[in-house]
Amino acid sequence: MAVKTKKLFPLFCLFMLICTTTVGAVSNLNITVTTDKQSYSRFESVQVYGNLVLDSSPVTDGLVALLVKNPSSNYIVMRTVNTGMNPQSPLIVEVRSVYSCDLNGNPKPDVSKGSLAYFNVTISNYDLVTHIVLATVNLYDKNNVALSLVSSNLPIPARSASSFIISASIPSWATSGNAAAYASAYTEWPEAGGTPYCPEESASFNILGGSSGPQPSTPNGSQGAYNLTFRLPPKCQVGTYVVYASSIYNGMTALANTVFFVKQPGDFDGDGDIDSKDIFAFLDAYIAYWSGNPWNPEADFDFDGDVDSSDVFAFVDAYIQYWST
């Protein structure tokens, strides 16, 4: 017996060494997130982008959840984008469909400004256990302005599909015409470490009073990179916004966040105040518009496509309010 032990011991050590080395080779999933600018004006487009990498290789079939929180800690954007293509592996939970409807679930494509819009969402659970799903619907008008975000936490039983109706308000300032609704499913909010279950689904609806616009579409990433562009509301809060990005791949989770700032209306040079430099900048924009030069959207306070007397009064009000506080 002593001889056998002597011969087997080195083999046993070698086996343990191989196992330890194999287990110790832990993969890392990393995600980045940034914006194309650090400071924005109201009604300006914000581009969010980043990369998803497993060890040193881009993940080209990953899903990324993007959440944007305003200075009052209210969520204004919640979307799911991919990093090249959607995952090929079977889904556990899937958003099957979303469409604009009335309170009873009957299809209804037209919605008035200042009213509630209703959406019928169907989500399937293919797993053998019940899943609690954070379902969200994010609305945008024809100008890609983020209108509203609504959510619901739903227990979806194993091997079943659940349909529900969710309502969202259409602001009175929304642009009329073709609008978009994006429905998504998550384990939790990305701020709390949640990740997407599946790709988002979209539907179009019509905000009464205008012409048609582009059809809804989810941007595709490329080579492990993702991107999303949305426009800030015309009356969004001034202050710091936080962007959260999250993903899950091969059982590993990656989280990241960044911030951007929405500046004070009338602060043309972005230095945090409204002073003589901004007065001259506004006058330049006013003169340029009436001289036939390109329109400066920062000087269009009422967002009606021009720089006129109403914008002059709005700039004066912004100046007075700034120096009165």
Domain-terminating residue out of 262, 289, 307 = 262
Q: Supply the pLDDT for residue 206.
A: 97
Q: Which residue has the higher pLDDT, 264 or 191?
A: 191
Considering only residues 83 and 309, tell me which one the structure prediction assigns the higher pLDDT: 83
Q: What is the DSSP letter of 27?
A: -
Whether 169 maps to a domain, the answer reads yes
Considering its fold, how many domains does the chain have in total?
2
Q: Report yes or no on 11 lying in a domain.
A: no
Query: Is residue 110 located within the same domain as residue 188?
Result: yes
Say if 24 falls within a structural domain.
no
Residues in CB range of 148: below 8 A, 6 or more apart: 138, 139, 168, 169, 170, 171
Domain assignment present for 253: yes
Q: Looking at residue 271, what is its pLDDT?
A: 78
Q: Of 75-89, 241-255, 256-270, where does mean pLDDT reach its minimum?
A: 256-270
Q: Which of 235, 262, 289 represents a domain boundary (last residue)?
A: 262
74 with 193, same domain: the answer is yes
Strands (E), the chain: 29-31, 34-35, 39-40, 45-54, 57-58, 63-69, 75-82, 93-101, 110-111, 116-125, 131-140, 146-156, 160-169, 177-186, 201-207, 225-231, 239-249, 252-262
| pLDDT score, position 209 | 84
In angstroms, what CA-CA distances link 316 with 44, 213, 280, 290, 325? 21, 34, 13, 19, 15
Domain containing residue 293? 276-324
Which CATH number covers residue 83?
2.60.40.10
pLDDT digits (tens, 9 = 90+) for 215-234: 888 999 999 999 999 999 98
At residue 211 the predicted structure's pLDDT band, cuts being 50, 70 and 90, is confident
pLDDT in the model for residue 25: 61
Residue % of the chain over a pLDDT of 70: 92
Q: What is the mean pLDDT of residues 63-90?
A: 97
What share of residues in the chain are helix, strand, coil (percent, to 5)? Answer: 20, 40, 40
Cα separation, 251 vs 219, whole angstroms: 24
User: 146 and 256: one domain?
Assistant: yes
Residue 270 lies in a domain: no
pLDDT value, residue 269: 81
CA distance 123 to 153: 12
Query: Does residue 197 share a domain with residue 320?
Result: no
- According to DSSP, residue 89 is labeled S
What average pLDDT does this structure show over 182-188? 98
Residue 22 lies in a domain: no
Average pLDDT along the chain? 90
User: What pLDDT was estimated at residue 187?
Assistant: 98
Question: Do 251 and 301 fall within a single domain?
Answer: no
pTM confidence score: 0.83
Residue 77: which pLDDT band, with cuts at 50, 70 and 90?
very high
Is 21 within the bounds of a domain?
no
Residue 195 has what pLDDT?
98
pLDDT tens-place string over residues 261-316: 999 888 888 777 889 999 999 999 999 999 988 878 788 887 788 899 988 988 89
How far does Cα 320 stand from its chain's mean position?
A: 35
What are the structure tokens assigned to 6, written together? 């002597």
Query: Are 210 and 253 within one domain?
Result: yes
pLDDT value of position 61: 97
Looking at residue 14, what is its pLDDT?
A: 47
Task: Answer whether residue 116 shows pLDDT above 80.
Answer: yes
Torsion of CA 12, 15, 19, 22, to 10 degrees: 160
Residue 21: what pLDDT? 47
Q: Are residues 120 and 237 in the same domain?
A: yes
319 within some domain: yes
* Residue 145 shares a structural domain with residue 191: yes
Residue type, 145: V
Residue 138 has pLDDT above 70, yes or no: yes
Do 287 and 143 lie in one domain? The reply is no
If asked whether residues 230 and 292 sit together in one domain, one would say: no
- Mark whether 237 and 189 lie in a shared domain: yes
Per-residue pLDDT, averaged over 139-145, amounts to 97
80 and 159 co-located in one domain? yes
- Cα(259)–Cα(131) distance, rounded to whole angstroms? 32
The distance of Cα 33 from the centroid of its chain, to the nearest Å, equals 12
Measured CA to CA, the distance from residue 147 to residue 233 in angstroms comes to: 7
Give residue for tokens 């015309």.
Answer: 234
Of residues 156 and 5, more confidence is placed in: 156
Residues 5-57 have pLDDT tens digits of 445 445 555 445 444 444 556 789 999 999 999 999 888 999 999 999 999 99
pLDDT at 317 over 90: no
